[in-house]
Structures are given as structure tokens and as C-alpha cells.
Amino acid sequence: MKKVLNKMLGRLVLTSVIILFQFGWVAFTLYEAENVSPVFTLVLRSISLVIALYVVYKDMRPHNKLSWIFLILFLPIIGCPCYFLFGRAEMTKNTRERMATLQAMVEPIREQSIEVIDWLKNTDATAHKQMSCPWHVGKYPVYMEKDSKYYSLGDDMFKDMLADIKSAENYIFLEFFIMKQGYMYDTLIDALAERAKAGVHVRLIYDDMGCIDEFPRQFYKELQEKGIHVACFNPFRPFLSVIMNNRDHRKIVVIDGKVAYTGGLNIADEYINRITRFGHWKDAGVKVTGDAAWSFTTMFLEMWSFITKGTEDFNRYKCLANENAVLIQQEKGFVQPYGDCPLDKRYLCEAVYLNLINHAKDYVYIFTPYLILGSEIATALINAARSGVDVRIVTPAIPDKKMVFLLTQSNYENLIRGGVKIYQYTPGFIHSKCFVVDDKYASVGTTNLDFRALYLHFECGTLLYKTKSVLDVRNDALRTFELSRCISLEECENKNFFFQLFLSVMRLFSPLL
């Protein structure tokens, strides 16, 4: 009872109630004005038409346009204020300009090795084109692999991550979307505090929405007293504001510029199966060693400077990194960390995924907790399957969000009809975000297959080519298929008409959720 009461009186609920009250007041005022004055009704309809035409003109994905146009024209009292609050996938102008300035400063210090790119080009011209996208879009270089390690479970990744943190000598950078109190959090903070006490510089970025109600209001002061420098991304405030739309969904750990981790793993006990919430929790991550860690270092420092509004010499952290050049070896693969920023509208994560699908010849295996697709990726998946590519997607059998799960299931029928095989992870919830293609390419990162991840969140990942870890992702996929249930077309069709209609309406509004 106490736990329920604390949730009801927590910051998330109270802030949400205040925001809903403000929105309700705006909608009610418009409704009353429309009833009182026919002139106002005409004005509101004219405004909604202008907004709808603006949405048509705007550079936006077609499925997103359709959702907003429908809501604005048919329910202008709700649609117009909703669009101004949630429809724009960017922060304020000053915020965007600050991020653009940082990007212009950071991109030149991520230098592409000519030797590495020439070797890749001469080895496989197709692979060179595949990995050119993150470089041309975001100036994320390709590195010769020194070492990479794939983790099929968060349990294993956390053990290695903790060991590397405990051996840090110069600095530790961490960036997470979610943190919750428990064994994992306490163990991590104790290790960070011990290293900070030993003189290691420790920085931690967390997203306020992801951590809301999990800690006391000013818990960061306790961390700072332990020597851990803390920055909060986009604090959740009780005001109607478009900036609430963007979240920092990245998960990054960098140790001394020599080692970096990313993947789906957040700091909460369910991620390492210390507690059970939705059955067995399957997550995935990757560790890169050597020069490739520099890209993750710059991603973190860019976000830190963005939040704190400060500037510093990023290169001084590169001096601490392992500067031993990786010798060009034929048996080695290539590693390319990349990050996505919603403010620049480059949509790099979507581009990486589309490239992987479109270049597949034999198979595409995908792990994703959410499958809420726009037309671009859905079409690419179906085209690949119809071309003879073995396309398989694994989603959870036990959902963490029931409404999102319904939306995920609503995409099954169209994909299955197009030849895509859909599996549900029977033991529980799969939170991994992985692609593996033709035993050559893999991507392991933080980006879900949904609208918010692809267009609204800060995300990151690692593109791998012909590394040992690519085959590890492939082997994990094959094992996971055996633990999962393949969904048949009959299951999708055997739903009553009204439920099918409900799912169709939900798909229409999925970009707005």
C-alpha cells in the first residue's frame, strides 16, 4: 500500500496531472469558445487547415504526416494544441543551434584513418559503401577491430563492465536512460565511488524521464559527495513544453578511452535478472577495445557539453586513450560506433538499418522489443523477404507496455503476408536491439524499431563487419529462435472485426505515441 501511495504522490504522477490539467484547460477553453462564437469556429477551422497544410509541406515521414493531418482536421480542438506540444521533433531554436555548434566542433576530431578505409575499400567495395553512411552522415569513422565482444545477456555484460570500471586509471564516463535503486545500482555506484576516491575522474549522465520517481529529488548531490560528477538530460517539468519530446536513450560506458560498452542495458535489477518483472529479461550489448572507443568518448563529451553548456578540450581525453595503432591484418574485421541526434534530422539509425536490410543477400535476423514500423522499414523488410532473403524478427512474448505490445502485434499480419517470419521470445521479454546480416554485418545498440527511437531520441550503436562478434550475434539469434514461437498468419487473421479495427486506428496514431 505504501509503495502504491508513493507512486501516486511521486513526481511523475503529480507532474503529469499538472500537465494534463493545463492541456485540458486549453482544450476546454477552445471548446467553449467554439460553442459561443460561430466566428471562432470558422477561425479555428481555418487555423487547423493552415497547420495541416504546413504539416504537408514539412519534411516529415509520410506515415507521421497522415497521423497529424487526420487529428488536426477532424479534432482541431485537440489536434492543434497537440501538434504544437508533441508534433515537432525538435527542441527550441537556441537548443538546436547549440547542438549544431557542438557537432561542428566534434566532427573534425573524429578522424578517419586513410589506411583503414583503403583496406576496407580494396577488401570489399560493398562493405565500404555500407559503412560509408555513418561517416558521411555523422562523421563516425571506421576502425580496424582490435577486439570486440558480443553479450547475449545483460548479466554477463554487467560483470565485465564492472571489472573494467574497477581497473580504471584515468576516467570513467557513463550515460544511461534508466537507473533504479537496487543491487545493480548500488554495486555500480560503490565501484565508481571507490575509483573516484582513488583519483579517477567520473562523470554520469542520466535522463530525467527514465529515472523519475526512482530516487529522491536531489539524489545527485549524494553522488557528487562521492566524487561522481552528474548531469541530468532534459529535466521533466510541470509545464506544457515541446522539449519534453526528446529523450537521451543512449547507453554508453567508456573507461580510459580504451574500452567502451553500448547496448540495451540500463541500470536496474531486471536487466541482469536479479528480479523478475516480465519473465526472463534478454538484453544484448557489445564491448569494443582500442581506437573505436574514441567515437563513444566524443559522443559522451558532446552530450555532457550540451547539458552543462560548457566547453572543454576533447582531445585531452584522446591523449589518455590507447594510441597504439592497430596493424592492418587480414583476419581482423571492422568496427564503426555511431550516434544519432534528433535535432539534425539526419536519422542515422534508420539509415543504418535500411542499408543492412537492402544489402542483405541471404538473411536478416532482428531483435527488437517494439515493432512499430513506418512505411520505409516495413517496405524494405517485405521487399527483402520477397527477394528470397530469410527475414526473421524476434519480439517479446511478455510485454513491458501492453499498449505498445498491441501496436507491435498489429504490424505482424502485413509483415507475415510479405514473407517475414515473426517470433515471440517465449521465456519473457527481449530488450535487445540487434541486426545481423549474411554472417558479415551486425549492429548492436540502443535503437528500437519504433517512431520515437528512430526520430525523437538520442541513440547510439556499433556497426560490425566480419568480426568474430558478428558470428556471435548470429549464433545467439539461432539459439533464440529455438526458444521462441513462430507466429502464424492464421493467428493474426483470427481476431474479431472490432479488435482489428481498434488495431488499425492504433496504427494510424502510432507515430503520435
Task: Give the domains, in start order, of the chain with CATH numbers.
Answer: 2-87 (no CATH), 93-333 (3.30.870.10), 348-512 (3.30.870.10)
pLDDT of residue 461 exceeding 60: yes
Q: Which of 94-103, 125-134, 213-222, 350-359 has the lowest mean pLDDT?
A: 213-222
Q: Which of 88-92, 414-418, 431-435 has the lowest mean pLDDT?
A: 88-92
d(CA 75, CA 512): 14
Q: How far is CA 160 from the centre of its chain?
A: 22
End-to-end Cα spacing for the chain:
30
pLDDT of residue 164 exceeding 90: yes
Name residue 231's beta-bridge partners: 205
pLDDT of residue 325 exceeding 50: no
Q: Which of 239-248, 260-269, 378-387 has the lowest mean pLDDT?
A: 239-248
pLDDT band at residue 55 using 50, 70 and 90 as cut-offs: confident
DSSP character string of 213-239: TTS-TTHHHHHHHTTEEEEEES---SS
- How many Cβ atoms from other residues are within 10 Å of residue 243's Cβ? 14
Q: And the C-alpha cell for 235?
A: 529535466
Which of 113-117, 182-186, 306-310, 495-499 reaches the highest mean pLDDT?
Answer: 182-186
Q: Which of 82-86, 123-127, 137-141, 420-424 has the lowest mean pLDDT?
A: 82-86
pLDDT of residue 80 exceeding 50: yes
pLDDT band at residue 125 using 50, 70 and 90 as cut-offs: confident
d(CA 211, CA 213): 6
Q: And the C-alpha cell for 250?
A: 543512449
Predicted confidence at residue 3, as pLDDT, reads 52
pLDDT for 360-402, tens place per residue?
999 999 999 999 988 889 999 999 999 999 999 999 999 988 8
pLDDT band at residue 225 using 50, 70 and 90 as cut-offs: very high
Query: What is the amino acid identity at position 492?
Result: C
* Mean pLDDT (the chain, rounded): 86
User: Who wins on pLDDT, 167 or 312?
Assistant: 167
Q: How far is CA 286 from the centre of its chain?
A: 15
pLDDT of residue 405 exceeding 70: yes
Longest Cα pair distance anywhere in the chain, in angstroms? Answer: 77
- How many Cβ atoms from other residues are within 10 Å of residue 103's Cβ? 17
CB within 8 Å of 41: residues ≥ 6 apart: 34
Reduced to 3 states (helix: H, G, I; strand: E, B; else coil), residue 423 is: strand
Prediction pTM value: 0.89
Mean pLDDT of 138-166: 95
- How many Cβ atoms from other residues are within 10 Å of residue 58's Cβ? 12
d(CA 460, CA 129): 20
Predicted confidence at residue 322, as pLDDT, reads 47
Q: Which residue in this structure is represented by grid cell 553522488?
A: 223
Closest CA to 254 of 165, 325, 185: 165
d(CA 340, CA 248): 10
